[in-house]
Structure 1
Amino acid sequence: MKSLKKTGFAFFCFVALGLVACSNDDENNTVMTKDVTDVAIADPQFSTLVSALTKANLVSALKASGPFTVFAPSNAAFAKANITSLDGISNDDLTKILTNHVVSGKVMAADVTSGRVATLNTDSPIYISKNTDGVFINGTVKVVQTDVTASNGVVHVIDNVIVPPTKNLVTIAAENSNFSELVSLVTAADPAVATALSQASANGLTVFAPTNAAFTELYKTVPKATLLSPANRTLLTNVLLYHVVPGRVFSTDLPNVSGEVATANASAKLTFNLVGGAKVNGTSSGASNITSANILATNGVIHVIDKVLLP
């Protein structure tokens, strides 16, 4: 695989971006005479963005009175997202991607809050978090410059493209052969597990997904046949629910988490350890490394782990 409805504690808090805006008054006065599209057109680092806006017929829309807050990917951001050409992207898909970068209203850096933020792509909000390394969107996109003011809003520069998710948690797992063991166990558990994963609420879920290799290691001490026994269905269900945290928790949120975190298994909690790399700790299984993070789904986020968590 490439690339908390809150429970037990208030996870997201008010934060300010805290990044320094341009201090050159003459430069700011010049920018203020331009709308957000003019700002992009005037800056060579946004040439790919301008081409994308033009192809999607969004230039005139962003010249409206707004105001708009635009998280603008640079040319380097498009390259980082492996978008080297716009030819293979339909106008419809391009529109969904670009509108996922625009928020209604003029939101300056000092006014930004963490958590869920609606965008002009009504099907795909974004999720903001802040840690000591900076401000991030959806756990993978970093804000690298803020408060480039315009006549109809403000532009914040980002280092990656915000691509809206198209698949839910269950579909992502089912389509990845490295999760075949996880999928088979979810199917064998109480149907409520699969239902919860596929029909998560707007607040979403965070899933710590063990790989096939992680389950192979578990089977050395807990045979798969034991887990699949009808007599142990409750045990299997509780183990699987122990890998699910209510709400979306991105890797960039983890530095702000302390203490125990509630899971979908009402009787068991997890902890995190970021020393020497991100780890999630099971009560009786110990630490599992997070080997791939922030796989965004329409109804949550997946982090890949290398050890099955046991309550």
Structure 2
Amino acid sequence: MKSLKKLVTLNKYLLAAGLAATFVSCKDDDDMPGTPAVGNIAAVASGDAQFSTLVAALTKAELVTTLQGAGPFTVFAPNNAAFTKAGITSLNTLTKEALTPILTSHVVSGEVKAADVKSGVAKTVNANNDIYLSKNADGVFINGNIKVIATDVDASNGVIHVIDNVIVPPSKSLVEVAQGNADFTELVSLVLAADPAVATALSAASATGLTVFAPTNAAFTELYKTTPKATLTAPANRTLLTNVLLYHVVPGRVFSTDLPNVTGEVATANPSGKVTFNLSGGAKVIGKTSGNSNITAANILATNGVIHVIDKVLMP
């Protein structure tokens, strides 16, 4: 009987000790600090030294308050090295008015995580400038030559993706870019000699833009050895010239970083002409009768499209 009483007493002590331990444990848990709340986009950027130039630019443009707002926002954030790569080594010469269209071109309304990024146009909060995303096996790119180098930096009002260059909105049309480049004087002269519809199309373009594979003067000089310029510009051959020039134009914006996803023949503005691409040993566009033309410079952005420089005239 005494043994039974001792057992009951022991059980009471054990139960009391267990309750005490549970109480202490709960109290300790209550006293432990929780995970710190993630700050807004402006705060996250301000707390990261690699964004010091970006934060200074946002401050000068008076956009910090915007990125403290409810959002959500997706920010493609250039790090300090990106500003240097873009040739922006000082903000002293850039006014608020100059910085605002640049910085707002890095911000997309809504939260887009890396896994949800798709190739195509992305509307930014700069109503006058969209950006163009390419997603391929090598990652995500903007406007063909800006790479996303880190993704999904969380903030309370959105997400940050780090990029290796600065997005600068284009200011010239396709025609204006060509006219301002001394290596395209032959191309410009032939466009003026062709059907006026060619120049009109290149000046206007549609909302989806155009891609132009632009032969250099040297490329035309080589062509003239077999097809003299006088032959191309003769009034009787205007249709031929027009068809050749339209064969260098692809509807829509096709950046070099889109090419890995392109298979088969691609339609051109010449209704009866298609081109193909070969990326082995360097990017090449292939004309039906002219063969390979090397793309020697890519992703020259215009307000209404994009230009790639080629070293040989494409012939349908």
Confirm or deny: 8 A CA contact 1:31 1:149 kept in the other structure.
no
CA distance change for structure 1 residues 287 and 80 in 2, over 3 Å: closer, same or farther? same
CA distance change for structure 1 residues 32 and 142 in 2, over 3 Å: closer, same or farther? farther
Aligned match of 2:39:
34
Aligned match of 2:189:
184
Aligned match of 1:79:
84
The answer to whether 1:266 aligns with 2:271 is yes
Q: Secondary structure at the match of 1:173?
A: helix
Residue 103 of structure 2: which of 83, 93, 98 is its match?
98
Which residue identity does 1:176 align to in structure 2?
A: N
Distance 2:169 2:248 in 1: 24
The answer to whether 1:48 aligns with 2:48 is no
Q: Secondary structure at the match of 2:103?
A: helix
Confirm or deny: 8 A CA contact 1:128 1:136 kept in the other structure.
yes
The answer to whether 1:68 aligns with 2:81 is no
Large movers: runs of 4+ above 4 Å: 29-32
Which residue identity does 1:185 align to in structure 2?
A: L
Which residue identity does 2:100 align to in structure 1?
A: T
Aligned match of 2:301:
296
Which residue identity does 2:114 align to in structure 1?
A: A
Note the 1:117-196 alignment, pairs <5 A: 117-196=122-201
CA RMSD of aligned residues (A): 1.1
Q: Secondary structure at the match of 1:253?
A: helix
Distance 2:37 2:72 in 1: 13
Deviation readout 1:142-176 (Å, 9 max, x if unpaired): 11111111011110001111111111100000111
Residue 57 of structure 1: which of 62, 79, 82 is its match?
62
The unaligned stretches of length 5 or more in structure 2 are 1-33
TM-superposed deviation, 1:112: 1.7
Residue 238 of structure 2: which of 233, 241, 244 is its match?
233
TM-superposed deviation, 1:90: 2.4
Which residue identity does 2:279 align to in structure 1?
A: L
Q: Secondary structure at the match of 1:275?
A: coil
Aligned match of 2:20:
none
Distance 1:152 1:242 in 2: 47
Deviation readout 1:4-46 (Å, 9 max, x if unpaired): xxxxxxxxxxxxxxxxxxxxxxxxx968520001111100000
Report which structure shows greater RCO (CA 8 Å, sep ≥6): 1
Note the 1:247-258 alignment, pairs <5 A: 247-258=252-263
TM-score, normalised with respect to structure 1: 0.89
Which residue identity does 1:100 align to in structure 2?
A: S
Deviation readout 1:249-277 (Å, 9 max, x if unpaired): 00000011111000000001000000100
Which residue identity does 2:54 align to in structure 1?
A: L
The answer to whether 1:210 aligns with 2:202 is no
Structure number with larger C-alpha Rg = 2
Residue 309 of structure 1: which of 285, 293, 314 is its match?
314
Aligned match of 2:8:
none
The answer to whether 1:245 aligns with 2:250 is yes
Distance 1:310 1:30 in 2: 64
Distance 1:118 1:281 in 2: 32
Confirm or deny: 8 A CA contact 1:31 1:150 kept in the other structure.
no
CA distance change for structure 1 residues 134 and 233 in 2, over 3 Å: closer, same or farther? same
Confirm or deny: 8 A CA contact 2:118 2:135 kept in the other structure.
no
Q: Which is richer in helix?
A: 2
Distance 2:36 2:167 in 1: 25
Confirm or deny: 8 A CA contact 1:73 1:159 kept in the other structure.
yes
Aligned residues: 283
Deviation readout 1:84-136 (Å, 9 max, x if unpaired): 11122221121000000000011111222210010011110111111111110
Note the 1:279-294 alignment, pairs <5 A: 279-294=284-299
Distance 2:227 2:92 in 1: 51
Distance 1:258 1:252 in 2: 13
Overall identity of the aligned pairs, in %:
73
